[in-house]
């Protein structure tokens, strides 16, 4: 069984070698031209991947900026509401803390 697998691997290797050589000869590509072509393809794929990941990073940054701006607006609205309530009632309105919650439950 091992001999059969070994022979199959040898045949596959020879076929790939001769097929590649025939393709290069029939295509008229020298090893230098083949290297240049593969290098150009790799370079273009690298650039495309880089652009995609830059776009993803920009999208994440924009989402984080949007969340921060929304939190700032929410904090300002809460602060304005507290100030309005304090001006009308004269009593400070503070957010609940652990100490104030314990006092309320007693």
- Name the residue with higher pLDDT: 62 or 96: 62
| pLDDT greater than 70 at residue 12 | yes
Running DSSP on this structure, what letter comes out for residue 91? Answer: S
Q: Is-above-0.85 flag for pTM?
A: no
**pLDDT reported for residue 65:** 95
Q: Please state whether 28 falls in left (phi above 0), alpha (psi between -120 and 50) or beta.
A: left
Using one digit for the tens of pLDDT, what is the confidence trace for 14-44?
Answer: 777 767 777 766 677 677 887 888 888 888 9
**pLDDT reported for residue 64:** 94
Of the candidates 52, 53, 24, the one whose C-alpha atom is nearest the C-alpha of residue 38 is: 24
C-alpha span between 59 and 41 (Å, rounded) = 27
| pLDDT greater than 80 at residue 51 | yes
- Tokens, residue 16: 């790939």
**pLDDT reported for residue 24:** 67
Using one digit for the tens of pLDDT, what is the confidence trace for 55-82?
Answer: 888 998 999 999 999 999 999 999 898 8
């Amino acid at each position: 069984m091992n001999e059969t697998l070994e022979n199959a691997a040898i045949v596959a290797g020879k076929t790939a070698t001769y097929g590649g050589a025939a393709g290069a000869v029939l295509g008229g590509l020298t090893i230098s031209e083949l290297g240049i072509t593969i290098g150009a393809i790799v370079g273009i794929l690298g650039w495309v991947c880089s652009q995609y990941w830059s776009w993803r990073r920009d999208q994440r940054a924009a989402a984080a900026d949007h969340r921060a701006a929304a939190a700032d607006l929410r904090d300002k609205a809460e602060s304005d509401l507290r100030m309005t309530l304090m001006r009308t009632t004269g009593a400070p309105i503070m957010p609940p803390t652990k100490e104030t919650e314990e006092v309320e439950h007693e």
